[in-house]
Amino acid sequence: MSEAPKIKVLSVLVGVLILLNVVSLGYIWWGHSTRHERGPREGRAPAGLVIKELQFDRKQQDEFEKLRNEHHRAMVTIGEQDRALHDELFRSLGRSSDTSAYADSLIHRIAMLRIENEQITYRHLAQVRQMCTPVQQQRFDAMIAEAMARHEHEGGPQGPPGQ
């Protein structure tokens, strides 16, 4: 494979990972507070949208809720670790000694958390897709494609300059 197709594939993958991260963060920020205000399956976005659009039966809803809760716990844990590392990173700016190696270490740990975040989100979406019927899988794939198109339209990652 030549360099140009590799770059395109990597650009698309980065775009997908960024979209998944944005969806995860949105869920953490907005889904968390509404969970306590509503019942377990009422119109929470994106969970309520997934249940509605894919027309999950009761068993699928229960399985989805379990997967969603597991994903949420993992995202909260990563979010807390990310905040702590960022706090430490920016506190290190005020120190007088040379801290570039320490800052590089913190930045590396933050990057590793981002990778873990994307891996967890990808596995979560793969598990949701796997629990779907073939017809629901087609709808799920269309939802992901639509979300990617919306992300790209809203200024997501573009290909390399000049393409």
Instruction: Tell how far CA 17 is from the center of its chain.
Output: 7
Q: Are 52 and 91 in contact (CB under 8 A)?
A: no
Instruction: Give the pLDDT confidence of 113-134 residue by residue, as tens digits.
Output: 999 999 999 999 999 999 999 9
The domain locations on the chain are 3-153
Average pLDDT of the segment spanning 19-38: 60
The yes-or-no verdict on residue 37 having pLDDT over 50 is no
Instruction: Give the pLDDT confidence of 43-89 residue by residue, as tens digits.
Output: 456 788 889 999 999 999 999 999 999 999 999 999 999 999 999 98
Q: What is the pLDDT of residue 96?
A: 60
Q: Which one has a higher pLDDT value, 151 or 74?
A: 74
Residues with Cβ within 8 Å of residue 39, at least 6 apart in sequence: none
Q: What is the pLDDT of residue 40?
A: 44
Q: What is the pLDDT of residue 119?
A: 95
Average pLDDT of the segment spanning 93-101: 73
Whole-angstrom distance, CA of residue 14 vs CA of residue 156: 10
Confidence bin at 42 (pLDDT 50/70/90): very low
Structure-block tokens of residue 18: 């960024």
Q: What is the pLDDT of residue 154?
A: 75
Calculate the average pLDDT of the chain. Answer: 80
Q: What is the pLDDT of residue 161?
A: 47
